Amino acid sequence: MRRSVLWVAGVIVLLIVAVWLGSLWLSVATRRAVTNNGTIRDFHEFTAEQLEREVRSGVPIGSTRDFVNGFLTGEGMRFGYDPALYATTANAPFLKGSGIIVSSLGLTFRFDRDSRLTAIEAKVHLTGP
């Protein structure tokens, strides 16, 4: 009786370790895929709210488009400009709590015709399997 209990306990421990290692491996693989193997920064130390506050404090309304682009480049975010909308869109992937389901913050920077920032919009996106 004692021997079978030990075997069952050992098998359960091995299964728990295997699940934990599999989860860790999937998390690392997901992080690499989301950040293009490290070319784009992952933001796993920030929640969406913290990152949005940091962006809003670092990019004041009235900033030039060049200033916004410099800020986004410095932060390691993927971004692009749409001249038809006078807007720069940016993405901060792999926020705190991301794993198999990836949480990212989408940012839209709206400009006037003189390329001055008029508004910042933020939206959380969840993607996964």
Span 110-124, pLDDT tens digits: 999 999 999 999 999
Residue 42: band (very low, low, confident or very high) from pLDDT cuts 50, 70, 90: low
CA nearest 103: which of 71, 76, 127? 127
Structure tokens given for 39: 């070319």
Identify whether the C-beta of residue 90 lies closer than 8 Å to the C-beta of residue 68: no
Q: What is the pTM of this model?
A: 0.69
